[in-house]
Amino acid sequence: MLSSETGKYDFTRIEVLSYLSDQELAMFQEQCAACVFSAGNVIVSREERDQSVYFIMYGRVHILNYSCAGRIVTYSSVVEGGMFGEMAAIDGLPRSAWVCAVNDCMVIKISKEIFLSYLQKNPAFSMAVMRKLSKNLRELDERLVNVLSMRAEQRVCVEIISMAKPTSVKSGFYCVVEMPTQSNFANLVGLSRETVSRILSRLRSDGLIKISGNGLDILDRKGLENRAFGQPF
C-alpha cells in the first residue's frame, strides 16, 4: 500500500520487518519492488531458480503442490503481513512449491542477496525469521497429522476453527471474515470440493455455522469443537 504523502510503503503490518532499524528500513524502501497480482495468478512456480523473498502488503496466497494422484494439496495459507520464499533464499535450492494469489494481492519483493545481508547483520531480524520458519514447520506438522488421522468432517471443522477470529460485534462469537472458495478450502484440507460442500451443508443444517456471502459465522463453537476433537463418528 502506498502512502499518498511520501510515496513510500507502509511496512508496519509486516512483523518481521519491525526488527529492522529505522536506517535499515529506509534502505529497504529503496531496495524493494512492489508487485500486484490478481486472484488465481501464479506468483512463484515450483523448480524455478529465482530466489527472491516476498512480503504480503494485502491479500492472501496459497502455497501448494500436487500429490502423486495429481490432486492439488495446499500446504499453507499466507495473509497480509506474512512472508514467503525465504526457504529458497536461505538454502539456495530451486522452489519446492507453487505460490498462487487467492484474491487480489500486493507483495513486496527483495532479492536473495539483500535478504541474506539483513540476516547476517541484524540478529533480531534473524531470530524473527527463524521463529517464523519454526511456526511454519509446526503448522505443517499439525496439518499432516490432521490429514492422516482425522475423518473428513473433523478436518473441515478444525480448519474452520483455526481460521476463525473473535467478532467485534458480540463477545464470545467467532467468524471467518473471508472464506476461501470451496475449491481452495478443499485443497487446504485434502478433500474433494464435493465432499467439502456436503460437510458445510450438514454443519449449517445442524446449526453450527452460518454462511453469509464470502463470510462464515460460528453459531455454536462448542458444538463445532466437539465435531472436530470429539470421538470419531
**pLDDT at site 6:** 36
Q: Do both 191 and 137 map to the same domain?
A: no
pLDDT higher than threshold 60 for residue 50: yes
The gap between the terminal CA atoms of the chain, to the nearest Å, is 47
The Cα–Cα gap between 219 and 208 comes to 5
**Where do the DSSP E strands lie in the chain?**
33-37, 42-44, 53-58, 60-66, 72-79, 83-84, 98-101, 105-110, 165-166, 174-176, 209-212, 215-218
For residue 69, the model assigns a pLDDT of 67
160-203 pLDDT, tens digit each: 998 888 886 666 788 988 888 888 898 888 888 999 999 999 99
Of 78, 135, 122, nearest to 102 by C-alpha is 78
How many domains is the chain built from? 2
- Is 6 a member of any domain? no
Range 143-164 average pLDDT: 86
Q: What value does the mean pLDDT take over residues 56-77?
A: 84
**Is the predicted pLDDT of residue 155 greater than 70, yes or no?**
yes
96 and 34 within one domain? yes
Nearest Cα neighbor of 98 from 120, 117, 72, 123 is: 72
Mean pLDDT of 147-171: 84
- The pLDDT tens digits for 8-34 are 778 888 999 999 999 999 999 999 999
Task: Identify the domain boundary among 111, 127, 148.
Answer: 148
Q: Of 148, 165, 186, at which residue does a domain stop?
A: 148
Which domain covers residue 207, as residue numbers?
150-229
Q: Which amino acid is at 216?
A: L
Three-state DSSP class for 103?
coil
Stretch 46-56: mean pLDDT, rounded?
A: 94
Alpha carbon distance 164, 131 (integer Å): 23
pLDDT band at 91 (very low <50, low <70, confident <90, very high): very high
Rounded CA-CA distance 173/166 in Å is 6
The reply to whether 142 falls in a domain is: yes
Domain identity same for 29 and 132 = yes
Residues 107 and 198 placed together within one structural domain of the fold = no
Residues 32 and 135 in one domain: yes
What backbone phi and psi angles, to 5 degrees, belong to 232?
A: -55, 145
In this prediction the pTM is 0.74
Query: What does the pLDDT look like over 96-124, one tens digit per residue?
Result: 999 999 999 999 999 999 999 999 999 99
